[in-house]
Amino acid sequence: MSPTTIGVLALQGAFIEHIKLLHQAAVELRLQQDALYVDNKDLRFIEVRNASELAHCHALIIPGGESTSMSLIAERSGLLEPLRDFVKVDRKPVWGTCAGLILLAESANRSKTTGQELIGGLDVRVQRNYFGRQVESFEADLELPFLEDGLPFHSVFIRAPVVEKVLPSTTSNTADSNAATIGGNVIAPSKRATTAPVEILGRLPGRARTLKDRTTTAEDLGEDGDIVAVRQGNVVGTAFHPELTDDPRIHVWWLKQV
């Protein structure tokens, strides 16, 4: 049986930290005596910098870092379109953290006026740097119901985005195949759409803000808190940085999903 290859996009950002926690997560899975992960050879973790390396991956993590830099480097290295195919056409499992969440969104506002392109795959609109600049970074304990032990997850937010709106699934299924800017928002280019709903996996309590258009807000959904973790089919996004902690529980959960 060939190993399951998990790639971590290694163009910029905290990719080494993700690989470290993936190895810890694999050990944890073996300690749980999950038969699939008894042998070290059943899982392989690689850094991804080009389309050839991406082609060997069964799943991918897009780390925290600087989303504009990642998109520019991906475009210049011929990796941007293969990434879009990986996420939106092949629908392989992908997880983006912080900058990775921005890149996986179908729409992002307050993006830089030049150079920012999106991969897409999550029918959400994100707001970059929602909590402010680097000096306003913070840590918080989150209640994440998908973690089996029910214990809070100590999360790191650094110039973090939030999901400010869940979009209709038709948003990513337009006739235009090119990225665009509409009403000040960057829009990901169309690929194959999915009918899977967007699931809200986690919120940051007490920080919800009212949106002017009020299409979908935390208040409308009957809960207080900014949306900081979502899932749509095989695509997961978190606004915080699990890779900057020593807690592998989310990595364990994600490997199980893969």
Q: Give the whole-angstrom CA distance, residue 248 versus residue 242.
A: 8
Annotated binding-site residue? 13: no
Catalytic status, residue 154: no
Annotated binding-site residue? 187: no
Annotated binding-site residue? 128: yes
Q: Which residue shows structure tokens 């830089």?
A: 112
Q: Which of 17, 117, 164, 241 is catalytic?
A: 241
Buried b or exposed e, range 76-87, using 16+ CB within 10 angstroms? eeebbebbbbbb
Catalytic status, residue 243: yes
The conformational region for residue 214 under phi > 0 = left, psi -120 to 50 = alpha, else beta, is left
Q: Which of 17, 18, 57, 98 is catalytic?
A: 98
If we measure between CA atoms, which residue out of 137, 143, 98, 127 comes closest to residue 236? 98
Q: Give the whole-angstrom CA distance, residue 181 versus residue 198.
A: 23
Q: Give the whole-angstrom CA distance, residue 191 versus residue 11.
A: 23
Catalytic status, residue 57: no
Q: Which of 106, 117, 243, 251 is catalytic?
A: 243
Annotated binding-site residue? 30: no
Tell me, what amino acid is at 199?
A: E
> CB within 8 A of 230, min separation 6: which ones?
122, 124, 163, 166, 198, 199, 200, 201, 236, 237
Tokens, residue 223 = 């809960």
Stated as kind and residue range, the H or E segment containing 214 is: none
Q: Give the whole-angstrom CA distance, residue 101 versus residue 99.
A: 5
Residues tagged in the binding site annotation: 65-67, 128, 158-159
Residues tagged in the binding site annotation for L-glutamine: 65-67, 128, 158-159
Tell me the catalytic residues. Answer: 98, 241, 243
